């Protein structure tokens, strides 16, 4: 059975100004000015819902994409900036979260002081790497740098770290023990394909990347930058070759494997694992989850086989590259020019204030989130969305009960999982403790390192304790949502519970079509190609009969084929296998949201408004929630390495929902028409 990432995220478009997308009318919740009604819904439904907006929308110079999600994200950013101003104008108590946030912000914003410091903040790290005399010392450094720098839900690189190995801690997939998950890292380009592909476009990118490495090293005053850059790229290419593909990583039924400490020595020779784990602050830990074990085996072999000097150069480069925003502006400009302009086509960098906001959300997000919800999140919105989630869970349960292909044994397991699901709305019940994070005035780089150490300590503190099913993995101030399979839990942050996803003044159709579909999506992740491999206790276990599993897999592969057929570029089609979990959650989630919407109507019909029925508004709201416009480079990056299909294709989920055909009179001969037997019905 195929599966998506361990921590499944609905990654939404980042915050950018979007004046062309009008505030939606309160009565309907949809933006009729965004629509192109000259387009036939059955031929181009995405353009029918969003065509007028697409024709007018311009991507700001400091962004690689825009989208309808920025309506919520822009408002959230405005709220957060006001909160920062309030903190800066206050006199918080020493050692308080507010004091940490104030001092972090001021240090990050003081680019003059950062420039004056030059590379002095790096000297300790660079000296440490230079002092490595043998592989034993290298292993100790690799262990020390196994940090919880993971930022799963604030960027497009799932499970990405520039350290050789990454770390997060939660319940094991194959037991009830809370364990460290060790996963592969070590590359800076967006995906292994950028290193291994022989396409001319990728070959060019690698040449540009090599030049960038040399330029960054030269700027840091490191000698022989071209020689070292070639050595780094050679090693990094071998690291990438050891990585499984994104589709393989997404299949945690294959990738998550419990290893004892002795298993590491036996299965991944080339490193002194006892020394590594001691340096990684886990000297007594005996059980680990080796995520993508083949990668761990391959990376350990490279530690043994590749020259020490190559590793030392690699360490220096990646420590600089991962932190250019808290280093002198010339470093920052180089990084932006390559990763944002060259790779994604973004011509202009965001303002320092907006980047400071993003950085504080990454490094001190829990502390900032607590202040955010105290100021901006109304209890009424929390209660209303909780009620919607209850309705959608009920609708999903009814769909499970009605499946004619599912056996009683499988149905019983599915219902137990659904009934036990924990839905958290707005913010966590328990806030993270930041007392171990020391933020110093005027030391931006040191503050970044302190924040990473703090996040690592927060993770390590979970070892030896029972699983906290109420744990949150994203900030309340993030426009996003997530399903957490090993917790059998959902998180809906406060920031997504506003327009255009949710408006308490709008009618049921738009709210259920927008935020309802998000809720349904996340519920469905518990039963998608990944969630269906995990039981109600968050344990990887086959709870299906053979016949039921065969039926589910057949439908899943039909969805793979459906999305493989979409081609955003003549030379690049979508990867239906990689996107299977997300696309499957879209299909089942939209269907459940529609059922819940009809149930909430209690047998009545909403009035026709401006010629649109309630059902039509439901589906238009869904399509408008995926309105997006991207630069070509950003779109290519997403298609190559992201498990989420681009928005224009996610909107086409409607092709699998019978009610859409009825609502718009879609007939055979329409371009988007699928005969009933071709419509994917997962749940």
Alpha carbon 51 to its chain's center: 27
Percentage of the chain surpassing pLDDT 90?
80
The pLDDT of residue 65: 85
Greater confidence, 500 or 612?
Answer: 612
Using only C-alpha atoms, the chain has a radius of gyration, in whole angstroms, of 25
* pLDDT given for residue 17 in this prediction: 27
CA distances from 541 to 253, 292, 347 (A): 9, 18, 48
Looking at the DSSP assignment, which residues form a beta bridge with residue 492?
425
What confidence tens digit (pLDDT) does each residue in 510-539 have? 999 999 999 999 999 888 777 888 999 999
Question: What pLDDT was estimated at residue 29?
Answer: 87
Q: In this predicted structure, what is the pLDDT of residue 26?
A: 42
Strands 489-493 and 422-426: parallel
pLDDT score for 160: 79
Q: Compute, in degrees rounded to 10, the torsion defined by CA atoms 639, 644, 649, 651.
A: -160
The ranges assigned to domains in the chain are 14-81+365-430+468-678, 120-326
When pLDDT is cut at 50, 70 and 90, the band that residue 248 belongs to is confident
Q: How far is CA 277 from CA 283, 318, 451, in A?
A: 6, 21, 21
In CATH, the number for domain 14-81+365-430+468-678 is 3.40.390.10
Decide if pLDDT at 114 tops 90: yes
pLDDT, position 24:
40
CA distance 269 to 271: 6
Q: What are phi and psi of 423, to 5 degrees?
A: -110, 115
pLDDT tens digit sequence for 363-373 = 999 999 999 99
How many CB atoms within 10 Å of residue 237?
Answer: 17
pLDDT in tens, 295-326: 999 999 999 999 999 999 999 999 999 999 99
**What digits encode the pLDDT tens for the residues 260-270?**
999 999 999 99
> Do the domains spanning 14-81+365-430+468-678 and 120-326 agree at the CATH topology level?
no
Mind listing the pLDDT tens digit for each residue in 457-478?
999 999 999 999 999 999 999 9
Quick check: 151 pLDDT over 80?
A: no
Query: 165: which strand partners?
Result: 184
Each residue's pLDDT tens digit, 654-673: 999 999 999 999 999 999 99
pLDDT at 77: 93
Q: Give the confidence band of 6 by pLDDT, cuts at 50, 70, 90.
A: very low
Phi then psi for residue 25, to 5 deg, are -60, 140
Share of the chain above pLDDT 70, in %: 94
Question: Cβ-count burial of 120 within 10 angstroms (0-12 exposed, 13-18 middle, 19+ buried)?
Answer: exposed
Read off the pLDDT of each residue in 378-397 and give the average, rounded to a whole number: 89
Cα angle at 183 between 181 and 189, to 5 degrees? 145
* pLDDT(159) > 80: no
Q: Which stretch of DSSP H or E encloses residue 339?
A: none
In order, the DSSP letters of 477-542 are TSS-EEEEGGGTEEEEEGGGSSTTT--TTS-HHHHIIIIIHHHHHHHHGGGSTTGGGB-TTS-B--
Cα separation, 13 vs 19, in Å, equals 16
Between 219 and 529, the higher pLDDT residue: 219
pLDDT of res. 27: 66
Least confident of 139-148, 525-534, 537-546: 525-534
pLDDT at site 9? 33
Looking at residue 154, its pLDDT comes to: 43
DSSP 642: -
Which residues make beta-bridge pairs with 9?
482
Assess contact for 501 and 95: CB atoms under 8 A.
Answer: no
Concatenated DSSP letters of 356-401? HHHHHHHHSHHHHHHHHHHHH--HHHHHHHHHHHHHHHHHHHHHHH
Dump pLDDT digits (tens) for 596-612: 999 999 999 999 999 99
156-170, 327-341, 624-638 — most confident range = 327-341
Among candidate residues 213, 167, 223, 219, the one with its CA nearest the CA of residue 187: 213
Nearest-angstrom CA–CA distance, 674 and 671: 9
**Cα–Cα dist 514/590, whole Å:** 9
Of residues 380 and 30, more confidently modeled:
30
Q: How far apart are the C-alpha atoms of 329 and 344, rounded to whole Å?
A: 20
Per-residue confidence band for 156, with pLDDT thresholds at 50, 70 and 90: very low
Confidence of residue 157 (pLDDT cuts 50, 70, 90): very low
Name the band, by pLDDT with cuts 50, 70 and 90, for residue 586. Answer: very high
Best CA proximity match to 645, nearest among 551, 581, 591, 590: 581
- pLDDT for the residue 80: 97
Q: Write the burial class of residue 131 (CB in 10 Å: 0-12 exposed, 13-18 middle, 19+ buried).
A: exposed
Give the pLDDT mean for 51-73. Answer: 87
At 224 the pLDDT is: 98
Inform me whether the pLDDT recorded for 16 exceeds 90. Answer: no
Q: pTM for the whole thing? A: 0.86
Fold for 120-326, please state it. Neutral endopeptidase; domain 2 (1.10.1380)
Contact 681, 673 (CB under 8 A): no
């Amino acid at each position: 059975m195929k599966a998506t990432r361990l921590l499944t995220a609905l990654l939404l478009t980042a915050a950018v100004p979007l004046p062309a997308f009008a505030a939606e009318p309160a009565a309907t919740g949809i933006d009729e000015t965004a629509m192109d009604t000259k387009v036939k819904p059955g031929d181009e439904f995405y353009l029918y819902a969003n065509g007028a907006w697409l024709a007018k929308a311009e991507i700001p110079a400091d962004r690689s994409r825009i989208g309808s999600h920025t309506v919520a994200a822009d408002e959230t950013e405005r709220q957060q900036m006001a909160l920062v101003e309030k903190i800066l104008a206050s006199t918080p108590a020493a050692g308080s979260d507010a004091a940490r946030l104030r001092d972090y912000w001021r240090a990050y914003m003081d680019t003059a002081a950062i420039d004056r410091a030059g590379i002095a903040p790096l000297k300790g790290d660079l000296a440490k790497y230079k002092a490595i005399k043998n592989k034993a010392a290298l292993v100790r450094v690799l262990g020390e740098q196994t940090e919880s720098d993971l930022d799963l839900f604030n960027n497009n690189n799932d499970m990405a770290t520039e350290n050789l190995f990454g770390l997060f801690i939660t319940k094991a997939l194959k037991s009830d023990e809370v364990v460290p998950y060790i996963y592969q890292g070590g590359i800076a380009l967006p995906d292994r394909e950028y290193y291994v592909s022989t396409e001319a476009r990728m070959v060019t990118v690698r040449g540009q990347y090599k030049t960038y490495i040399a330029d960054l090293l030269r700027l840091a005053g490191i000698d022989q930058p071209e020689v070292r850059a070639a050595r780094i790229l050679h090693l990094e290419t071998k690291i990438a070759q050891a990585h499984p593909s994104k589709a393989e990583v997404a299949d945690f039924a294959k990738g998550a494997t419990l290893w004892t400490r002795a298993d590491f020595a036996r299965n991944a020779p080339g490193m002194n694992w006892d020394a590594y784990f001691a340096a990684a602050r886990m000297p007594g830990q005996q059980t680990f989850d080796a995520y993508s074990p083949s990668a761990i085996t391959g990376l350990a072999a490279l530690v043994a086989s590749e020259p020490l000097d190559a590793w030392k150069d690699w360490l220096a480069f990646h420590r600089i590259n991962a932190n250019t925003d808290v280093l002198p502006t010339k470093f920052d400009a180089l990084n932006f020019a390559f990763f944002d302009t060259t790779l994604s086509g973004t011509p202009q960098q965001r303002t320092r204030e907006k980047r400071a906001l993003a950085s504080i959300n990454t490094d001190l997000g829990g502390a900032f989130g607590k202040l955010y919800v105290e100021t901006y999140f109304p209890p009424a919105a929390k209660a209303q969305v909780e009620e919607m989630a209850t309705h959608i869970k009920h609708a999903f349960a009814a769909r499970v009960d009605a499946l004619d292909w599912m056996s009683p044994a499988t149905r019983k397991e599915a219902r137990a999982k659904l009934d036990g699901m924990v839905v958290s709305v707005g913010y966590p019940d328990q806030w993270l403790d930041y007392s171990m994070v020391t933020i110093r005035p005027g030391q931006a780089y040191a503050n970044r390192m302190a924040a990473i150490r703090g996040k690592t300590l927060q993770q390590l503190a979970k070892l030896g304790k029972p699983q906290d099913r109420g744990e949150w993995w994203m900030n309340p101030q993030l426009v996003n949502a997530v399903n957490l399979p090993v917790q059998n839990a959902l998180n809906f942050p406060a920031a997504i519970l506003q327009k255009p996803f949710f408006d308490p003044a709008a009618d049921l159709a738009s709210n259920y079509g927008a935020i309802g579909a998000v809720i349904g999506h996340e519920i469905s992740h518990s039963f998608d190609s990944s969630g269906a491999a995990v039981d109600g206790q968050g344990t990887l276990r086959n709870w299906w009969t053979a016949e039921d599993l065969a039926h589910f897999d057949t439908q899943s592969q039909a969805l793979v084929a459906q999305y493989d057929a979409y081609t955003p570029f003549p030379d690049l089609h979508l990867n239906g296998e990689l996107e299977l979990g997300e696309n499957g959650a879209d299909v089942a989630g939209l269907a459940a949201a529609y059922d819940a919407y009809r149930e909430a109507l209690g047998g009545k019909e909403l009035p026709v408004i401006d010629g649109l029925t309630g059902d039509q508004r439901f589906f238009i709201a869904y399509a408008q929630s995926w309105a997006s416009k991207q630069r070509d480079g950003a779109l290519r990056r997403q298609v190559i390495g992201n498990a989420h299909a681009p928005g224009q294709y996610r909107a086409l989920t409607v092709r699998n929902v019978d009610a859409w055909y009825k609502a718009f009179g879609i007939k055979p001969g329409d371009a988007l028409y699928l005969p009933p037997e071709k419509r994917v019905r997962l749940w």
